Chain A
């Protein structure tokens, strides 16, 4: 006990067991998260196969370049997060703080781009509800699906639902990164005790994975 300081809780035999439990617990949470987002992905699958023309047409109104920029930003933030975990495993306090701050900055850039995109959708009446107005991207799609506007609204409901839930995860993740960075700056972590950095990393990487699927499914389906 004394050799490992105060971080070892009394119900664990040793630091390794404590860390293994923390990591496993985080993965159980992530498995739940897969199914939480999975409900939305399954809904998307049903409506995309039901109304392929409306979904392709509605996706044409998104700016895929902004989506691609955000994909790169988020992948970059996953890399900086992996570097923060790497620094923690080697007990380098200053490096942990620096990499976590970089991750926070990249997360903020992502949310900023998302805010610009959402603003654009409000301006163009593409937010589902009573003010929704739809102009077909390609007239051919209107011929293939007479209820194009109605089904495009379904696409935008899923667009805001899925990207909104994803953004909410980032809004929750950024303060957690800040908290971990603050604890790292106080020298709380070491090679023997780095599980808070490790499991925060698991959360952040999961959020990145969700976006890896959202980008092609929402932005790229109308590109060709």
Chain B
């Protein structure tokens, strides 16, 4: 199965596919710039990060061949992001709750 992981990847990957991903990344860059110039309040961050994650996913899935990779590679890629999420979550749960008090008033 995963033994022909790369034969697989290059069997699926093609120049038109790479060109398509390249074009999609350029379009998303344009959207990021345009969206940043409009004031959506906190949603500016949601839009900017949403687009950034979409772009990252395109690069990882196609340019980095993870779309056609075995489960072990997907697990390793995912673990990097999961642990980054854990770092950010617990860090922010500390900073956000510092001003809270268990005693009312």
Q: Which residue of A lies closest to B35 (CB)?
A: A220
Compute how far the CA of A68 lies from the CA of B31 in the bound complex, rounded to whole angstroms: 11
- Beyond A46-B95, A82-B18, A212-B59, whether A68 also contacts B33 by CB under 8 A is yes
Chain A residues with Cβ under 8 A from B56's Cβ? 209, 212-213
CB atoms of B6 and A89 under 8 A apart: yes
Compute how far the CA of A205 lies from the CA of B13 in the bound complex, rounded to whole angstroms: 16
CB atoms of B22 and A68 under 8 A apart: no
Interface of A is mostly: helix
Compute how far the CA of A71 lies from the CA of B96 in the bound complex, rounded to whole angstroms: 32
Among residues 1 to 57 in chain A, which have CB atoms less than 8 Å away from a CB atom of chain B?
Answer: 16-17, 19-20, 23-24, 27-28, 30-35, 38-39, 41-42, 45-46, 49-50
CB atoms of A75 and B3 under 8 A apart: no
* Interface band, chain A: 35 or more
CB atoms of A34 and B64 under 8 A apart: no
CB atoms of B26 and A209 under 8 A apart: no
Compute how far the CA of A83 lies from the CA of B22 in the bound complex, rounded to whole angstroms: 11
Residues of A within 8 A of B (CB): 16-17, 19-20, 23-24, 27-28, 30-35, 38-39, 41-42, 45-46, 49-50, 64, 68, 71-72, 75-76, 78-79, 81-83, 86, 89-90, 194, 198, 201-202, 205-206, 208-209, 212-213, 215-217, 220-221, 223-224
Residues of B within 8 A of A (CB): 2-7, 9-10, 13, 15, 18-19, 21-22, 25-26, 29, 32-33, 36-40, 44, 48-49, 51-52, 55-56, 59-60, 62-65, 69-70, 72-73, 76-77, 79-81, 83-84, 87-88, 91-92, 95-96
